[in-house]
Amino acid sequence: MHWIDPDCLPEVKGTVERFLLNPHGEIDGFVMNGDAQAPVLVHTPPHMEAELTRHVKAGDAVGVRGVRPRKGHLIAAVAVTATDGARIVDQGPEHDRRHPKLEKRKLSAEGTVRLPLFGPKGELRGALLADGTVIRIGPKEAEQLVGLLAPNAMVAVRGDGVETKHGRVVDAKEVGTSSRDLHPI
């Protein structure tokens, strides 16, 4: 169980635009359109995926109770309330939880960064491209690539990836400003 009582946290409401994937192909958050003009990045731990996707779909209105890290523009969700009233609370992972066995293959992506992606503590972890592709990069490596992961930046990557019904993710091993200018990370 999460050590923070979700009822003591403010609730942010919005509409789920799309789910986000981690390098294993698991859902670890979503983009939400809220009251403000800018989209809101919401981090959810991967162990919440099954319950989250059972009650929430793209286009649904949700309420999110969570914390905002000092750095990074996101909400690290402790609880999500779905349109049907279901409340998905971070109860922590099961001790024997394993990553799904999805077939990874070589993938590449190139395009304009829509949003930088952050981990639950606010650490830069990649980017969401305008076409919906999720790019994931380790936090230490991402710190050196801040300019390439900024909104409206052009970025190209190559690495191992997964495609699921919720989208496509590339765990970047090479990065550059175009597919002709890739360098190892």
Q: What is the pLDDT of residues 37-95, one digit of tens each?
A: 689 999 999 999 999 999 999 999 999 999 999 887 899 999 999 999 999 999 887 77
Same domain? For 25 and 80 the reply is yes
Same domain? For 85 and 109 the reply is no
Please, what is the end-to-end C-alpha distance for the chain in angstroms? 36
Residue 95 lies in a domain: no
Structural domain span for residue 133? 105-184
- Residue listed under structure tokens 């990557």: 157
- Residue listed under structure tokens 């698991």: 26
Residue 99 lies in a domain: no
Which residue among 89, 116, 150 closes a domain?
A: 89
Residue 48 lies in a domain: yes
- Residue listed under structure tokens 């000092």: 70
> Could you give the number of structural domains in the chain?
2
Give pTM, 2 decimals. Answer: 0.91
Residue 94 lies in a domain: no
DSSP 65-131: EEE--SSSS-EEEEEEE-TTS-EEE-----TT-----PPPEEEEEEEEEEEEEE-TTS-EEEEEETT
CA 56 to chain centroid: 15
Euclidean distance between CA atoms 9 and 14, whole angstroms: 16
